[in-house]
């Protein structure tokens, strides 16, 4: 039984009170060394890849708006820049930063992620995420969004906003993917004798025209080691499932029970049929918030203590798993049997639960044959193989300049 194990890194951990633990490092949260230590710990322990959380606005306990709490971690470093910093200082682990598709230009996202792929020698990925908050929109200042409560998401206005955001995300990912392909693998010649550095016939226009973007291309960054870094999406319902089915390689979902796991699995596969997905099926990963101790009673007691410090029980879209490493493995085994090929574990406390994952969970999983496959790049190790270039088979009809710029609608 094989499966991929990823770890989602966020601040001092996914429990809001984690920063107050005796072995937490709240003074180091905004230092490069803190993040390097976390990623190296994950790499030494055999974690296949890490994701790094990010957002346009400050973290908040309220939905889509700022809160007034001063007892939670607030503020963060840019996830993509963290990944770029740790890339040359690590050797095997995949690096998947969160980068929003809302209020950002696909051209800049594409080149930044390609640069990360070069810096990591083929270990980059992207967790694409929408931003629905009115406060986030106000930070950018280009457009305004309605201020909706969580209960208003199911209203006509809420559904319309969701459709727009995910349609924009679909277009943004498509533009990024076209830009990643705009240089063929062998476009760079470096032939000093003829004075030709590039083969212009192997550069291609992206030529994307849509409701949200008008992008001619090409990219300014050559095709990176993976060709197409892995695209991942967190999804909870029909429209996000369809975005993942249309545009992603990996989808993270959040079942709470075995019945949930079956229902969500079938919803994702139905979404693939609805959008007419071809080629490899979506890789299905389940997210869990994990708090690990040596006994069930100790785990429950620790969670209760953290909840008391927080003033309210921990709430999450994902299953909150408080138990022992062996109990976690049993849970992963059960969902692997239901068709899940990977898991993204969200440590409740950093670094403590990350260390427990690497020292007491992954060694047993590896003994059971759960390690990723061999390969130089993240795509290869996760069984995706190198991505084909959509433009390589067709002869270039026009020769773009190497300094073409993007325009955005």
Look at residue 157 and give its three-state secondary structure.
helix
Which neighbouring-strand residues pair with 52? 9, 97
Question: How many structural domains are present in the chain?
Answer: 1
Classify residue 202: in a domain, yes or no.
no
List pLDDT tens digits, range 154-198.
888 889 999 999 999 999 999 999 999 999 999 999 999 999 999
Distance CA 48, CA 44 (A): 10
pLDDT in tens, 124-154: 999 999 998 888 888 889 888 888 878 888 8
Tokens 């001092």 correspond to what residue? 12
pLDDT at 152: 80
Average pLDDT estimate for 27-31: 98
Domain presence at residue 298: yes
Measure CA 263 to chain center: 23
Give the Å distances, CA to CA, from 243 to 113, 268, 344: 20, 10, 19
| Contact yes or no for 130/57 (Cβ under 8 A) | no
pLDDT (0 to 100) of residue 404:
34
Q: Minimal CA–CA distance to 250: which of 117, 106, 383, 346?
A: 383
Q: How confident is the model at residue 407 (pLDDT cuts 50, 70, 90)?
A: very low
pLDDT digits (tens, 9 = 90+) for 287-311: 999 999 999 999 999 999 999 999 9
pLDDT at 23 over 50: yes
In a domain, 165, yes or no: no
pLDDT of residue 154: 82
Read off the pLDDT band of 7 (50, 70, 90).
very high
- The Cα–Cα gap between 106 and 175 comes to 6
In a domain, 401, yes or no: no
For residue 408, give the nearest of 126, 130, 166, 172 by alpha carbon: 172
195 exposure class (CB count in 10 Å sphere: 0-12, 13-18, 19+) = exposed
Please state, in angstroms and as integers, the Cα–Cα distance from residue 205 to each residue in 98, 181, 243, 283, following that order: 27, 9, 24, 30
Q: Is the pLDDT of residue 369 over 60?
A: no
Whether residue 204 is contained in a domain is answered as no
Q: What is the average pLDDT score of the chain? A: 92
Q: Tell me the average pLDDT across 2-19.
A: 95
What token pair was written down for 281? 């099926």
Instruction: Tell me the average pLDDT across 209-236.
Output: 96
Question: How much is the pLDDT for 409?
Answer: 30
Q: What is the pLDDT of residue 47?
A: 97
Q: Are 181 and 386 in contact (CB under 8 A)?
A: no
| The pLDDT of residue 62 | 82
- Model confidence at 396, pLDDT cuts 50, 70, 90, reads very low
Contact criterion met (CB below 8 Å) for 300 and 313: no
Is 170 contained in some domain?
A: no
User: In the block, which residue shows the tokens 């975005």?
Assistant: 243
Reported as a pLDDT band with limits 50, 70 and 90, residue 349 is very high
Kindly provide the b/e burial profile for residues 106-141, where b requires at least 16 CB atoms within 10 angstroms of the residue's own CB: bbebbbbbbbbbbbbbbbbbbbbbbbbbebbbeeee
For residue 408, what pLDDT is reported?
A: 33
CATH code: domain of residue 98: 3.20.20.30
Is the pLDDT at 226 greater than 80, yes or no?
yes
* Average pLDDT, integer, range 17-37: 98
Report the pLDDT value the prediction gives residue 2, as an integer from 0 to 100.
66
Find the DSSP H helices in 97-150.
106-119, 134-140
Residue 279 CA: distances (Å) to CA of 182, 206, 230, 272, 276: 21, 22, 15, 11, 10
Q: Can you spell out the DSSP letters for 222-275?
A: PPPTTSS-EEEEE--SHHHHHHHHHH-SEEEE--SSHHHHHHHHHHHHHHHHHH
For 73-116, write each residue's pLDDT tens digit.
999 999 999 999 999 999 999 999 999 999 999 999 999 999 99
Tell if the pTM clears 0.75, that is, is over it: yes
Is 141 within 8 Å of 207 (Cβ atoms)?
A: no
Residue 145 lies in a domain: no
Does some domain include residue 176?
no
10 Å Cβ neighbour count for 194?
Answer: 7
Sorting pLDDT into bands at 50, 70 and 90, what band is 405? very low
State both tokens at 403: 């300094």
Q: What is the span of the domain harbouring residue 90?
A: 4-133+228-381
Q: Tokens representing 381? A: 């190790």
């Amino acid at each position: 039984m094989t499966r991929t194990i990823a770890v989602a890194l966020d601040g001092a951990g996914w429990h809001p009170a984690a920063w107050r633990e005796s072995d937490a490092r709240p003074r180091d949260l905004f230092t490069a060394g803190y993040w390097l230590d976390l990623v190296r710990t994950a790499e030494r322990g055999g974690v296949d890849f890490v994701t790094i959380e990010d957002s346009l606005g400050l973290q908040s306990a309220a939905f889509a708006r700022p809160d007034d709490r001063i007892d939670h971690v607030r503020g963060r470093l840019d996830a993509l820049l963290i990944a770029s910093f740790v890339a040359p200082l690590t050797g095997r682990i995949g690096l998947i930063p969160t980068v929003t598709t809302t209020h950002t230009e696909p051209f800049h996202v594409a080149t930044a992620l390609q640069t990360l792929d070069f810096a990591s020698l083929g270990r980059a990925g992207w967790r694409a995420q929408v931003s629905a908050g009115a406060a986030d929109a106000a930070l950018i200042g280009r457009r305004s969004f309605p201020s909706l409560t969580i209960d208003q998401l199911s209203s006509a206005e809420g559904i319309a906003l969701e459709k727009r955001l995910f349609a924009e995300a679909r277009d943004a990912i498509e533009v990024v993917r076209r830009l990643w392909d705009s240089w063929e693998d062998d476009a760079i010649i470096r032939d000093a004798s003829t004075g030709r550095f590039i083969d212009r016939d192997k550069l291609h226009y992206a030529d994307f025209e849509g409701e949200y973007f008008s992008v001619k291309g090409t990219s300014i960054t050559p095709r990176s080691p993976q060709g197409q870094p892995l695209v991942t999406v967190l999804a909870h319902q029909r429209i996000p499932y369809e975005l993942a089915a249309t545009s992603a390689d990996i989808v993270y979902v959040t079942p709470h029970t075995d019945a949930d796991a079956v229902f969500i699995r079938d919803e994702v596969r139905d979404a693939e049929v609805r959008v007419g997905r071809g080629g490899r099926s979506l890789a299905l990963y389940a997210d869990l918030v994990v708090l690990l101790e040596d006994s069930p009673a100790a785990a429950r007691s620790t969670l209760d203590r953290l909840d008391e410090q927080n003033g309210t029980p921990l709430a999450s879209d994902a299953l909150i798993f408080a138990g022992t490493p062996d109990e976690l493995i049993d849970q992963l085994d059960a969902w692997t049997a239901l068709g899940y090929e990977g898991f993204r574990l969200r440590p409740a406390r950093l670094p403590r639960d990350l260390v427990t994952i690497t020292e007491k969970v992954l060694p047993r999983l590896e003994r059971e044959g759960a390690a990723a496959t061999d390969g130089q790049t993240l795509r290869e190790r996760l069984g995706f193989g190198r991505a084909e270039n959509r433009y390589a088979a067709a002869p270039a009809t026009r020769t773009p300049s190497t300094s073409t710029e993007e325009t955005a609608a």
